[in-house]
Structure 1
Amino acid sequence: MYEAQINAYFDDPARRTQLVEAISRLARIRSVREDPQPGMPFGPGPAAALAEGLKLAEELGFTTHNYDNYVGAADLNDQETALHILCHLDVVGEGTGWTVTQPYEPKEVDGMLYGRGTDDDKGPVAAVLLAMQAVRELGVPLKRNVRLLMGTDEESGSSDLAYYYAREPYAPYTFSPDGEFPVINIEKGSYKPVFTQSWPEETALPRVKELHGGFRINVLPPEAECLLVGLSAEHVQSCCDAVATETGVRFEVRVEGDDLRVLCHGKGAHASTPEEGNNAITALLQLLCALPLADTPSTAALHSLNALFPHGDTAGHALGIAQSDEISGPLTLAFSLLEVTSTGLKGQFDSRVPICANESNCKAVAEASFARQGFAVQGEMDAPHHTPADTPLVQVLLKCYEQYSGRKGECLAIGGGTYVHDIPGGVAFGCAMPGFNGNMHGADEHTCIADQLTAAKIFAQAIIDLCA
């Protein structure tokens, strides 16, 4: 029921204009997590985005509630809530390499809307709001409520949802358009340990004085840089050229007094799909291991890291934890963060582990590999998330997807942790269509406007089927 009405509603050109403007209003806000301020647990950016999201919902006539700038809620009606739809308004840092537009200046080109957050997850927020508006304006009688939850800390651990669900109950049904269609019912677990090593202050030449790589644990680093002393620019440039040819990254060498600054430009990607990027940290390590550095503890540590994380190894083979299963697929690994100073280093990798991974065949093996190279390591494993495919929620969502997309519905397993990873019975549902790559977390992030409108149709039908 209501398919013809829903199609006619969203095929109105006014809906497209409304969608683009709503996404753009949210995407203009730099909602990257920063240090907390009074009343702003994740800094001013996420709080500003939440205020704008709630304003959008109120303009559409929905009842809203702000949970202390952790989460904002928008209710379609005052009935008992049957469905939670989880979206987030925080975004990862903008990084570099944008070509179509500036990160927070949304721009439409050839049916795509570019800007940080347009795909993850501000576009979905707008699509859900329009779906709720459609259900109300079409006069569909509902027996229960749908509540849109707009969070502000998904990219840094989802402490926003922990805050909300410590105060409110789970809904019978929950989905999040924080992934892709059809339905993501399996999300891998994760293992993201921190490893360290220290040494006395060094003076031998040539050596690495400092190194900085990566900016967020769940982003494959597009950039890394180091400061060298005791080497000629000509020699370093020659090695850079050779390693660039081998790895596909780009190096810059800058003279800064007696030092050389080497910048490595790779390609960012989401940490759950590291094979789609080009890791600047591991490429820089490969370069440093090709240079004639002094025999010092720092040099030995860099060689050890290069052995444990060779460039291009996104499965954990060198670390000894590579594994796979038929249900959830292979383990993936992204060496995301590294800081080296004159007296030590600290690093962290992000691995998404399949259902078959456990403490003994993953965590213990990695810890042993680090110990053999003289590193201390700390970190626990997080369990995978699995909602069976035969649950009523999954079956309804698959039907709605097939109804409006014209494609076959199926369940997917992914390495990324979506917003429902810790929600009992929850699944990820949209907004990206199969095969679409919006360059989430990378430069020139974008969303397909037509796909977002189709998603809104699907969500409207899902709301009707689950709440009417």
Structure 2
Amino acid sequence: MYKDQIERYMDAHRDEMIEDICRLCRINSEKMPYIEGKPFGAGAFDALQSALAMAEGYGFSTVNYDNYVGTADLNDKERQLDILAHLDVVPAGEGWTVTEPFEPVVKDGRLYGRGTADDKGPAVAALYAMRAVKELGIPVTKNVRLILGTDEECGSSDIKYYYDREKEAPMTFSPDAEFPVTNTEKGRLEGHFHASFAASSALPRLVKLDAGIKVNVVPGKAKAVVEGLELKTLEETASLVEKETDISFIFEENASVIQITAQGAGAHASTPQEGRNALTGLLTLLERLPLAECAQFSCIKRLLKLFPHGDTCGKAVGIDMEDELSGALTLAFSMLTVGSDSLEGVFDSRCPVCSNEDNVLKIVKKAMAEEGIALETDFMVPPHHVDGESYFIKTLLSVYEDYTGLKGSCQATGGGTYVHNLKNGVAYGASMPGTDNRMHGADEFAVVDHLLTSAKIFAQVIVNLCS
């Protein structure tokens, strides 16, 4: 119902919608230092002001929640649906070739620029969906609210601020993933651990080790410095370990010490099996070297026993599990530093719906304690799941199928989205299946036709859920 009118409206406003997206994408809204009245810096503030002015210009009632979050309401009726998007972006980074990061351009049917896909483009598509319903005069009996956050990329403190002041709508979707519907998100255990031991000067020895850049990234590179070993011994051992681990090693001599660089392949911690963990590969090499027996070397061997190379499902530490809803548990050993008398590190585990603190956190803590390593973390983020048979989900899938001709289905993710802590929140669009929008990378883009289709889908969802 109303599909023809919605499609004609969106097609007629295509160029206007793209220009509004460009208007927001010209603003560098990455998180910046706090300024009074601008909690996430000047860029996020400017983007929010621009978006709210845009919504007001189209006749919507807006509210600014102290520059953390802004909202736009379709009407003043009882709220039925929230659409949760964000205006902040990750840093531009290097390697852009099509355009400068904050100079959006359309080329070959793609809109390039930081934020075009994540998440300014989808946010404006949602605004145009509300605009279509409003300007076409489609009768609705409930309200839909567009919520525009400004700190999604760095912890979502904006949304906590908002929901400390407002109740959730009965239904919420976030256009910050891909179609069809992501209704299941794994839980997360971010495990911080440490161990102390007596220092030793006995040779050969490990002087230091440093690996990892972020807790949610499988390290593609790791470095260690050893003393008292011949280069030939290192090379012979590395040759065997390379065949076993698929990690390569480079050696640099400097006086009495040799630096080892392990090279693998990075990956997101939610999909560690797609990478080659340089950290665990480096530990495997160190374990095989004829280092002098000492407390440090013993601790490293015990640590590798808990997190052996290639174990991306937590089997060695006792938490290997899976379920039909969310799939298998994953574990990425992501950061480690080792000195003469201590070590500290972090692992990142994404845990299925069947997981809880009893069968994951307590098991890991006990296993590590038995090896003399203290897990400092005392809580885990629980999994998130919305019933795939609910009217809400069935409506989202039905509209998606109607506008794309593709089969709709529910899917699970190891990553967390903006709606993870909302009782009836799911991710819905705006990327189409199989499209790599290069989110967070150079030459991020959104397919213009996909944005237009998303706006049509969102408008129809509003009509179906709020009438």
Secondary structure (helix, strand or coil) at the match of 1:381 reads coil
Which of residues 265, 268, 271 is equivalent to 1:273? 271
Superposed displacement of residue 376, structure 1: 0.5
Residue 420 in structure 1 maps to residue 399 in structure 2 = no
Secondary structure (helix, strand or coil) at the match of 2:400 reads helix
Asked whether the equivalents of residues 171 and 424 of structure 2 are also in contact (C-alpha less than 8 Å), the reply is: yes
Which of residues 135, 140, 146 is equivalent to 2:144? 146
Asked whether the equivalents of residues 16 and 453 of structure 1 are also in contact (C-alpha less than 8 Å), the reply is: no
**Residue identity matched to 1:4:** D
**Residue identity matched to 1:357:** S
Secondary structure (helix, strand or coil) at the match of 2:302 reads helix
**How many residues were matched structurally?**
465
Structure with larger Rg: 2
- Cross-structure match for 1:430: 429
**Residue identity matched to 1:303:** K
CA gap of 1:237–1:436, structure 2 versus 1, over 3 A, is farther
- Cross-structure match for 2:305: 307
Superposed displacement of residue 101, structure 1: 6.8
**Residue identity matched to 2:307:** F
Q: Could you give the per-residue CA deviations for residues 115-170 of structure 1, whole angstroms, max 9, x where no partner exists?
A: 55444333322322232333333333433332211223334443322211111121
CA gap of 1:313–1:80, structure 2 versus 1, over 3 A, is same
Q: Give unmatched runs, 5+ long, in structure 2.
A: none
Asked whether the equivalents of residues 80 and 170 of structure 2 are also in contact (C-alpha less than 8 Å), the reply is: yes
Secondary structure (helix, strand or coil) at the match of 1:83 reads strand
Distance 2:264 2:350 in 1: 21
TM-score normalized by the length of structure 1: 0.84
- Cross-structure match for 1:320: 318
Residue 11 in structure 1 maps to residue 11 in structure 2 = yes
Distance 2:308 2:120 in 1: 36
Asked whether the equivalents of residues 438 and 445 of structure 1 are also in contact (C-alpha less than 8 Å), the reply is: yes
Q: Could you give the per-residue CA deviations for residues 9-41 of structure 1, whole angstroms, max 9, x where no partner exists?
A: 3334x6257437616843762624x66454444
My pick for the range that moved more, 203-212 or 326-335, is 203-212
Asked whether the equivalents of residues 110 and 445 of structure 2 are also in contact (C-alpha less than 8 Å), the reply is: yes
Asked whether the equivalents of residues 209 and 337 of structure 2 are also in contact (C-alpha less than 8 Å), the reply is: yes
Distance 1:102 1:225 in 2: 34
CA gap of 1:108–1:278, structure 2 versus 1, over 3 A, is farther
CA gap of 1:356–1:242, structure 2 versus 1, over 3 A, is same
CA gap of 1:246–1:451, structure 2 versus 1, over 3 A, is farther
My pick for the range that moved more, 61-70 or 145-154, is 61-70
- Cross-structure match for 1:289: 287
CA gap of 1:337–1:124, structure 2 versus 1, over 3 A, is farther
Distance 1:272 1:369 in 2: 22
After superposition, residues 364-443 of structure 1 pair within 5 angstroms as 364-377=362-375, 378-441=377-440
Distance 2:239 2:92 in 1: 28
CA gap of 1:458–1:68, structure 2 versus 1, over 3 A, is same
Superposed displacement of residue 237, structure 1: 6.5
Distance 1:448 1:56 in 2: 22
Distance 2:105 2:250 in 1: 31
Superposed displacement of residue 55, structure 1: 4.9
- Cross-structure match for 2:63: 65
Asked whether the equivalents of residues 211 and 219 of structure 2 are also in contact (C-alpha less than 8 Å), the reply is: no
Distance 2:321 2:301 in 1: 25
CA gap of 1:127–1:195, structure 2 versus 1, over 3 A, is same
Distance 1:63 1:427 in 2: 25
**Residue identity matched to 1:283:** G
- Cross-structure match for 2:186: 188
Secondary structure (helix, strand or coil) at the match of 2:124 reads helix
Identity of aligned residues (%): 49
**Residue identity matched to 1:218:** N
TM-score normalized by the length of structure 2: 0.85
CA gap of 1:98–1:408, structure 2 versus 1, over 3 A, is same
Secondary structure (helix, strand or coil) at the match of 2:394 reads helix
Which of residues 154, 158, 161 is equivalent to 1:160? 158
Distance 1:293 1:58 in 2: 68
CA gap of 1:54–1:276, structure 2 versus 1, over 3 A, is farther
- Cross-structure match for 2:2: 2
Measured on the aligned residues, the alpha-carbon RMSD in Å equals: 3.5
Superposed displacement of residue 464, structure 1: 1.9
Asked whether the equivalents of residues 31 and 48 of structure 1 are also in contact (C-alpha less than 8 Å), the reply is: no
Superposed displacement of residue 401, structure 1: 0.8
CA gap of 1:350–1:233, structure 2 versus 1, over 3 A, is same
Q: Give unmatched runs, 5+ long, in structure 1.
A: none
